[in-house]
Amino acid sequence: MSIRVGIVGISGFGGGEALRLVAGHPSFELVYAAGEGSAGSRLGERFPGLPARLADLVIRKWDPAGLPPLDLLFASLPTGASAAALAAVPESVKIVDLGGDHRDAAGWAYGLADIWPERIQGQRRVANPGCFPAAVLTALAPLLAGGLVEPGNIIIDAKTGISGAGRGGADSRFGFAESNENLVPYGLLQHVHMPEMARAIARLSGGSAAGLVFTPHLVPMTRGLLATIYCRGGAGTEECLAAARRFYAGRAFIRVTERPPQTKWAAGSNLAFVSYAADPQRGLVMALGAVDNLGKGAAGQAVQNANLICGLPETTGLEGMPAWP
């Protein structure tokens, strides 16, 4: 079965990672690529390592009215740039939106694929989670669903690689000189992923996430994301690990580990690693989640969601091992 695929925003980090995964996918045929600054150039000029069959595909200027016949469209556009344009895409074309415009939009399924796959299967419009929610919610879900932690007392300390900030332009604040040997907190108390995480925490627990605190940091590495999450609860470490193993039994991309996870473990993959440490005497539960921010945090989960809505095994095209070292 050949599924005709398009990618919008192909020159960005998320779109480029989607291209890498689509190029190796046994059921996806890339027939359309769109970008802004890269429009008019061949894919092979932007991505010299592409398979020869894709190298001559010309990147078009993004125009939803000018789409060729497609079955599936990946949209990797900045938050605020996709809502109006994607509304003009024919209903016959399935869409996975990697941006932030549709994560709480009517008619769009929230694509947290490892937690709610049944809510994604058969849908035509899926909003991919943000990279931070992908790591945080994957680690928290077993604890919240099992009532092991209080949803209203959660503190998240997360670190992401520079690619999580997007590709940017020539005046980007995230170049080598600015980022190397530096650690940068940002989005304090108002990060765009806060409402998304709060909604999911409330849905998983049935309670309020009003006390949620989230502090993200940029660290000087290209890709990878680690979230350390502090919760109130009386469970012990083994109880938390056991809850996660039950919750994710049979889920191909989740690894429950007794060791604290590392970002390198997930590099270049769609895997998510979760672990826990708890002190019942202090009422403290620590949850840890590690993902590749461009993999499970973006394009990997987008392809997983696409597999689900296209009726394919969700592991299709995603079974490669992480890159090491």
Maximum Cα–Cα distance across the chain: 63
The one catalytic residue among 131, 231, 240, 310: 131
Long-range interactions of 84-89: CB distance < 8 A, separation 24+ = 88/64, 89/64
C-alpha–C-alpha distance, residues 196 and 230, integer Å: 18
131 is catalytic: yes
Bridge partners of residue 225, in order along the sequence: 160, 291
C-alpha–C-alpha distance, residues 188 and 86, integer Å: 30
C-alpha–C-alpha distance, residues 318 and 280, integer Å: 38
C-alpha–C-alpha distance, residues 111 and 84, integer Å: 20
Give phi and psi for 194, each to the nearest 5.
-60, -55
Host H or E run for residue 225: strand 225-232
Give phi and psi for 52, each to the nearest 5.
-60, -30
Token pair recorded at residue 306: 């696409």
Q: Which residues are catalytic?
A: 131
